[in-house]
Amino acid sequence: MSETAFDPTAPLTPTGNLRRRRAFNRFAEYGATAAAVLAVAVLAIVIYTVVARGASALSLEFLFTGEPTGIGPAIVGTGLIVLVATAIAMPLGVLIALYLTEFAGGRADRPIRLMLDLMNGLPSIVIGLFVFGLLVYGKTQSAFAGSIALAIIELPLIARGSQEVLLLVPNSMREAADALGVSRWRTVLGVILPSALGGIVTATVLAVARAAGETAPLILVCSVFDSRGVSLNPFEAIPNIPVTIFTLSEEANPTGFARAWGASLVLLSFILLASLAARVLLARSRSKVAR
Partner 1 sequence: MSGLDSSAGLDEVAGSAPARVRIQSGPLAAPNGANGSAPRETGIGAVFEARDVSVHYGRKRALASVSLRIPRNRITALIGPSGCGKTTFLRSLNRMNDSVPGFRIDGQVLYHGHDMYGGNVDRVEVRRRIGMVFQKPNPFPKSIYDNIAWAPRNLGLKHGLDERVEAALRGAALWDEVKDRLKDSALGLSGGQQQRLCIARAIAIEPDVLLLDEPASALDPIATASIEELMHSLKGRFTIVIVTHNMQQAARVADQTAFFSLDSSAAEPSGTLVEFADTEAIFSHPKDPRTRDYVSGRFG
Partner 2 sequence: MSGTTVNPARVTGASSVRRPRSAARLRRVDRIGDGVLHGICALAALLGVVTLLLIGYQIVHGAGPAISEFGLGFVTHTTWQPNFNLYGAGSVLFGTAVSSFVALLLGAPIAVSIGLYLSLLAPKGVRGIVAPLVEMLAAIPSVILGFWGILILAPFVQANIEPWLHNTLGFIPLFGPPQTTGASVFTASLILTVMVIPIIASISRDLFLAVPNEIQEGASALGATRWEVVRGVVLPTTASGVVAASLLGLGRALGEAIAVTQVMGAGSTIKASLFDTGDTLAGRIANQFPGAITEMHQASLYYLGVILLVIGLLSNFIAQWIGKRFDYARTMAK
Assess 24 for contact with partner 1 (CB under 8 A).
no
C-alpha–C-alpha distance, residues 243 and 65, integer Å:
17
Least Cα distance to 99 among 110, 87, 109 occurs for 109
Assess 18 for contact with partner 1 (CB under 8 A).
yes
Least Cα distance to 164 among 96, 76, 81, 65 occurs for 96
Query: CB of residue 282 vs partner 1: minimum separation in angstroms?
Result: 24
Is the Cα torsion angle 204, 260, 136, 235 positive or negative in sign?
A: positive
Assess 245 for contact with partner 2 (CB under 8 A).
yes
Query: CB of residue 72 vs partner 2: minimum separation in angstroms?
Result: 19
CA quadruple 103, 108, 114, 120: dihedral, nearest 10: -40
Among 86, 124, 147, 162, binds partner 2 (CB under 8 A): 124
Query: CB of residue 238 vs partner 1: minimum separation in angstroms?
Result: 55
Applying CB under 8 A, which part among 1-9, 25-33, 67-75, 225-233 lies near partner 2?
Answer: 25-33
Tell me, residue by residue from 219 to 238, as one string, x for binding to partner 2 by CB under 8 A and - for no binding.
xx--x---------------
Among positions 157-186, residues that touch partner 1 (CB under 8 A) are: none
Query: CB of residue 29 vs partner 1: minimum separation in angstroms?
Result: 13
Nearest CB to partner 1, comparing residues 20 and 186: 20
Choose from partner 2, partner 1, none: what does 216 bind? Cβ within 5-8 Å by kind: partner 2
Assess 23 for contact with partner 1 (CB under 8 A).
no
For 233, other C-beta atoms within 10 Å of its C-beta total: 11
Residues 6 or more apart in contact with residue 56 via CB below 8 angstroms:
258, 261, 262
Nearest CB to partner 1, comparing residues 26 and 184: 26
C-alpha–C-alpha distance, residues 157 and 172, integer Å:
27
Assess 258 for contact with partner 2 (CB under 8 A).
no
Assess 52 for contact with partner 2 (CB under 8 A).
no
Applying CB under 8 A, which part among 11-19, 36-44, 139-147, 241-249 lies near partner 1?
Answer: 11-19
Assess 196 for contact with partner 2 (CB under 8 A).
no
Instruction: State CA 216 to chain mean position distance.
Output: 15
Helices (H), the chain: 18-55, 60-64, 72-98, 106-121, 124-131, 143-168, 171-179, 184-187, 193-212, 216-221, 241-250, 254-289
Assess 14 for contact with partner 1 (CB under 8 A).
yes
For 207, other C-beta atoms within 10 Å of its C-beta total: 29
For 263, other C-beta atoms within 10 Å of its C-beta total: 28
Among 4, 171, 172, 287, binds partner 1 (CB under 8 A): 4
Applying CB under 8 A, which part among 6-14, 96-104, 176-184, 253-261 lies near partner 1?
Answer: 6-14
